[in-house]
């Protein structure tokens, strides 16, 4: 209904009554639906009307009269939570940017504007406005303006049918569905009328109007009055001003012509701004005045108000989560693997984008901010000496809750954006391939703790010594799964980082000083399959999904493993040998406010408490007098902590992994591609190989202050060492082959 009125509105060309009447009957007769049109319009009041024929009524009544209304597509949100419990939006996901609101949450200005501007007799007719339909047909035939004539209920029916098409995953089926729902035919119009009448029998006028305002499109991906108020005016549907409400209702009539996010073109060098929207807006305001919905002074003030949109782009996708984007991406991967959302990954993500879910994650913003800050200070996003990556992951001991996840890159899944600079990547270095696209990294000597666990599990003592001489022929290693493995040929030649040559290191000394040959000597007296199985008992697995290797070389860390996996394992050690699988979601709330069961952590005993206590004792010594002492010394407040360092062959990757009894953290500086010897290189913050010892304390200091920590259980009673103070106290690292 684009008719104009008032001094500020253009007059329309008039035709004679005879010309209009002749054109009208010619138009209607040509369409062949005059009888059906009248019958459709008056069916709700047939008791007081006799103008419809019996045959016409029968044809109309055979049309479907019931329309199943499915839930509207709504955006889903992912949140982190501040320490005070305040939720912080990380990202939203949607196919249609919509936030469904109830009747009281919509401004009366909006309700009055849409009725006055779109369907003035809305509260009087039974779903089809006969007067409006015939008048619109007459106006169209008269050639003055083209008008639709559909009631609000009819428009709602059409939107419901289109929404059903939007839910169709197959593009071809979706296109056919859309064509059927929008085609300009008498059959489609009659069906729409019949459904509108049925709708009004089932729902109240207010209910239909409320749903109409929630379903209708406001241009682009903006659907519903709440999202429109958010996007165009940085406001809510409840608080829209009169001119704002009229401007938004104007868009509904023609989203392209009356859009507000792109100013109009220039005419004779003068910018039109939002002139088209203002013209339609002011018409609606005039109709509101005409039907006494507003006062004259309100009308004058609103018309005098310029159209001034405040475009507020909605959060969409994990790239809007900034430095927490990689954690956000991890959450989406979890949801894609959760059968709660559908039968397969594609369906699950589609349902998530449309389902209006609220996801509350485990992310601790205090730890996350500390991780992000220290990464920014210590590891550049782009480094001219190599493709360097920095990773930090923290896990809560005893729950598996992922508290922090950060890396030194900017997040983007867009190949075009990624091509603009090496600072962009879509790969999450902290997670497995299926949860972020990374194939993992060699953990170096941090992996030795699993040989230590197997050593203690088999009844050996920390003080027990082994043949740890460097030798060209290591002979045969026992493997109960694959059979004996012989290493008497060239190629297996593990060295110690500082060329230590001690012939008989104890297990404790080998752990404190991270002596490669000491651990190879321990493995000689163990079962390689048993070492692998003990690692698996702590949840350790390869990031690429392949089985863990179990050669003698893997003892010193050659399997590619995700940092998150190692953090989970260290949390299991700190938890007296009970490991809990990682979780990133605390709560899921559906669109109806009902809580949905979130993926839960599973906890299991990895080793007996006595074994865990022995591991903790040795790893405490690593912190206080061994290779991890630089990290321990810089952490404040000081609490009992366990840890293990790791450096891969040629100092390509460097690690610091450790835990209190409350939080486990893994920090790494890695060569994403290629190789570089970190010991010969420097960042602005200092030597590259020492960056881990600058970052790990920064995160664990926040963790210790917030979560506290207890002493580790002293259940281990076996001999620890011939010399309690022995061990390598140097700051050197191991070189794992």
pLDDT in tens, 587-633: 999 988 999 999 999 999 999 999 999 999 999 999 999 999 999 99
Three-state SS for 380-448 is: CCCCCCCEEEEEEEEEECCCCEEEEEEECCEECCCHHHHCCCCCEECCCCCCCHHHCCCCCECCHHHHH
Helices (H), 81-129: 108-118
Closest Cα to residue 669, out of 439, 426, 510, 444?
444
DSSP string over 317-368: SGGGGGGGHHHHHHHHHHHHT-GGG-SSHHHHHHHHHHBT-EEEEEEEHHHH
In a domain, 559, yes or no: no
Burial 364-378 (b: 16+ CB within 10 A, else e): bbbbbbbbbbbbeeb
Q: Which residues are 667's β-sheet partners? A: 392, 656
Rounded distance between C-alpha atoms, residue 726 and residue 712, angstroms? 21
* Out of 53-67, 135-149, 356-370, 417-431, least confident range: 135-149
The highest-confidence range among 56-65, 125-134, 136-145, 209-218, by mean pLDDT, is 209-218
Q: How confident is the model at residue 266 (pLDDT cuts 50, 70, 90)?
A: very low
In a domain, 328, yes or no: no
Task: Say which residue, 314 or 51, is predicted with more confidence.
Answer: 314
Locate 619 and state its tokens.
Answer: 């790893």
Question: What's the rounded mean pLDDT across residues 472-483?
Answer: 91
Instruction: Give SS3 for 3.
Output: coil
The pTM (predicted TM-score) of the whole model is: 0.78
Rounded distance between C-alpha atoms, residue 661 and residue 398, angstroms? 9
Contact between 115 and 152 under an 8 Å Cβ cutoff? The reply is yes
pLDDT value for 273: 65
Rounded distance between C-alpha atoms, residue 507 and residue 452, angstroms? 7
pLDDT in tens, 701-732: 999 999 999 999 876 555 555 444 333 333 33
pLDDT value for 474: 87
Burial 702-725 (b: 16+ CB within 10 A, else e): bbbeebebeebbebbeeebbeeee
pLDDT in tens, 71-106: 888 889 999 989 888 999 999 998 888 999 999 999
Q: For 50, which DSSP code?
A: -
β-pairing, 76-81 vs 358-364, is parallel
In a domain, 591, yes or no: no
Q: How confident is the model at residue 191 (pLDDT cuts 50, 70, 90)?
A: confident
In a domain, 510, yes or no: no
pLDDT value for 65: 67
Task: Say which residue, 44 or 683, is predicted with more confidence.
Answer: 683
In a domain, 536, yes or no: no
Question: What's the rounded mean pLDDT across residues 304-322?
Answer: 90
Locate 579 and state its tokens.
Answer: 């490991």
Q: How confident is the model at residue 354 (pLDDT cuts 50, 70, 90)?
A: confident
**% of residues, the chain, pLDDT over 90:** 65
Closest Cα to residue 167, out of 392, 400, 353?
353
Question: What's the rounded mean pLDDT across residues 448-470?
Answer: 95
Locate 243 and state its tokens.
Answer: 């001119």
* Mean pLDDT, the chain, whole residue set: 85
In a domain, 121, yes or no: yes
pLDDT value for 69: 80
pLDDT value for 370: 98
Closest Cα to residue 692, out of 624, 622, 645, 635?
645
Q: Give the CATH number, domain containing residue 230.
A: 1.10.3810.10
Instruction: Give SS3 for 93.
Output: strand
Rounded distance between C-alpha atoms, residue 531 and residue 517, angstroms? 16
Contact between 397 and 409 under an 8 Å Cβ cutoff? The reply is no
- The enclosing H or E element of 19 equals helix 17-31
Instruction: Answer whether residue 304 shows pLDDT above 90.
Output: yes
Rounded distance between C-alpha atoms, residue 427 and residue 440, angstroms? 11
φ, ψ of residue 410 to 5 degrees: the values are -90, 140
Rounded distance between C-alpha atoms, residue 63 and residue 676, angstroms? 74
pLDDT value for 9: 28
Question: What's the rounded mean pLDDT across residues 351-360?
Answer: 90
In a domain, 337, yes or no: no
Instruction: Answer whether residue 680 shows pLDDT above 90.
Output: no
Rounded distance between C-alpha atoms, residue 701 and residue 370, angstroms? 9
What's the number of domains the chain is made of? 1
Domain that holds residue 180: 94-304
Rounded distance between C-alpha atoms, residue 699 and residue 567, angstroms? 13
Handedness of CA 726, 729, 732, 737 (dihedral sign): positive
Chain centroid to Cα 527, Å, comes to 43
Total Cβ atoms within 10 A of residue 594: 8
Chain centroid to Cα 18, Å, comes to 63
Computed on alpha carbons and rounded to an integer, the radius of gyration of the chain in Å comes to 35
Contact between 546 and 488 under an 8 Å Cβ cutoff? The reply is no
Closest Cα to residue 54, out of 32, 37, 39?
39
Closest Cα to residue 310, out of 378, 363, 236, 234?
234
Chain centroid to Cα 308, Å, comes to 32
Locate 571 and state its tokens.
Answer: 């949390």
Report how far apart the first and last C-alpha atoms of the chain are (Å, whole number): 78
Rounded distance between C-alpha atoms, residue 177 and residue 171, angstroms? 10
Closest Cα to residue 153, out of 169, 177, 132?
132
In a domain, 413, yes or no: no
pLDDT value for 5: 29
Handedness of CA 84, 90, 95, 96 (dihedral sign): positive
In Å, what is the CA distance from 226 to each residue of 74, 86, 219, 531, 537?
11, 22, 13, 58, 50
Helices (H), 183-266: 186-202, 205-215, 225-233, 242-253
Does a cis peptide bond (omega within 30 degrees of 0) precede residue 239? no
Rounded distance between C-alpha atoms, residue 365 and residue 402, angstroms? 11
The set of long-range contacts for 142-149, using a CB threshold of 8 Å and a minimum separation of 24, is 142/15, 142/19, 142/20, 142/23, 143/13, 143/15, 144/12, 144/13, 144/14, 144/15, 145/2, 145/3, 145/12, 146/2, 147/1, 147/2, 147/3, 148/1
Contact between 524 and 479 under an 8 Å Cβ cutoff? The reply is no
Closest Cα to residue 260, out of 251, 270, 271, 269?
251
């Amino acid at each position: 209904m684009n008719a104009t009125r008032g001094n500020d509105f253009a007059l329309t060309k008039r035709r004679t009554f005879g010309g209009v009447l002749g054109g009208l009957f010619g138009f209607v007769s040509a369409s062949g639906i005059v009888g059906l049109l009248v019958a459709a319009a008056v069916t709700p009041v047939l008791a007081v009307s006799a103008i419809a024929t019996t045959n016409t009524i029968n044809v109309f009544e055979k049309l479907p009269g019931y329309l199943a209304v499915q839930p509207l597509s709504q955006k889903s949100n992912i949140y982190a939570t501040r320490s005070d419990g305040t939720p912080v939006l990380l990202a939203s996901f949607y196919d249609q940017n919509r936030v469904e609101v109830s009747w009281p949450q919509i401004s009366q200005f909006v309700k009055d504007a849409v009725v006055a501007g779109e369907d003035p007799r809305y509260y009087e007719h039974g779903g089809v406005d006969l007067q409006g339909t015939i008048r619109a047909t007459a106006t169209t035939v008269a050639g003055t303006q083209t008008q639709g004539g559909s009631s609000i209920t009819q428009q709602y029916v059409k939107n419901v049918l289109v929404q059903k098409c939007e839910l169709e995953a197959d593009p071809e089926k979706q296109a056919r569905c859309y064509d059927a729902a929008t085609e300009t035919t008498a059959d489609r119009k009659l069906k729409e009328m019949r459904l509108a009448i049925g709708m009004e029998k089932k729902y109240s006028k207010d209910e239909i109007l409320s749903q109409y305002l929630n379903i209708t499109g406001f241009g682009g991906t903006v659907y519903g009055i709440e999202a429109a108020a958010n996007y165009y005016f940085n406001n809510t549907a409840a608080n829209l001003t009169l001119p704002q409400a009229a401007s938004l209702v104007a868009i509904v009539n023609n989203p392209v012509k009356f859009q507000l996010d792109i100013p109009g073109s220039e005419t004779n060098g003068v910018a039109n701004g939002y002139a088209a929207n203002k013209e339609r807006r002011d018409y609606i305001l005039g109709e509101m005045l005409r039907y006494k919905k507003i006062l004259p002074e309100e009308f004058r003030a609103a018309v005098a108000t310029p159209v001034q949109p405040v475009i507020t782009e909605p959060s969409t996708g994990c790239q809007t989560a900034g430095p927490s984007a990689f954690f956000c991406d991890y959450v989406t991967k979890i949801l894609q693997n959760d059968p709660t959302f559908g039968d397969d990954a594609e369906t699950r993500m589609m349902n998530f984008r449309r389902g209006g879910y609220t996801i509350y994650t485990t992310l601790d913003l205090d730890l996350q901010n500390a991780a992000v800050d220290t990464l920014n200070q210590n590891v550049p996003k782009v480094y001219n000496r190599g493709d360097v990556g920095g990773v930090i992951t923290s896990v809560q001991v005893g729950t598996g809750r992922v508290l922090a996840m950060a890396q030194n890159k900017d997040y983007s899944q867009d190949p075009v954006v990624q091509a603009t600079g090496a600072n962009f990547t879509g790969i999450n270095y902290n997670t497995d391939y299926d949860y972020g696209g990374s194939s993992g990294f060699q953990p170096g000597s941090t992996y030795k703790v699993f040989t230590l666990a197997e050593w203690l599990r088999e009844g050996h003592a920390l003080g027990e010594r082994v043949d740890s001489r460097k030798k060209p022929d290591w002979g045969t290693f026992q493997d109960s799964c694959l059979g004996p493995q012989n290493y008497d040929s060239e190629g297996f030649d593990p060295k110690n980082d500082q060329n230590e040559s001690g012939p008989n290191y104890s297990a404790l000394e080998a752990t404190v000083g991270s002596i490669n040959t000491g651990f190879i000597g321990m493995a000689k007296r163990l079962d390689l399959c048993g070492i692998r199985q003990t690692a698996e008992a702590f949840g350790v697995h390869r990031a690429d999904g392949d089985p863990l290797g179990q050669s003698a070389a893997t003892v010193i860390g050659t399997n590619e493993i995700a940092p998150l996996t190692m953090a989970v394992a260290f949390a299991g050690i700190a938890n007296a040998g009970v490991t809990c699988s990682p979780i990133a979601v605390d709560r899921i709330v559906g669109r109806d406010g009902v809580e949905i069961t979130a993926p839960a952590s599973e906890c299991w005993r990895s080793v007996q408490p006595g074994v865990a206590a022995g591991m903790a004792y040795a790893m405490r010594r690593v912190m206080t007098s061994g290779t991890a002492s630089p990290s321990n010394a810089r952490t404040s407040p000081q609490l009992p902590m366990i840890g293990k360092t790791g450096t891969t062959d040629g100092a390509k990757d460097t690690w610091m992994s450790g835990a209190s009894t409350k939080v486990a953290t893994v920090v790494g500086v890695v060569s994403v591609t290629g190789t570089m010897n970190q010991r010969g290189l420097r960042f602005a913050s200092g030597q590259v190989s020492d960056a881990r010892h600058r970052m790990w304390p920064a995160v664990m200091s926040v963790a210790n202050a917030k979560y506290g920590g207890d002493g580790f259980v002293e259940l281990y009673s076996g001999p620890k060492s011939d010399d309690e103070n022995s061990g390598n106290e140097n700051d050197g690292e191991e070189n794992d082959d």
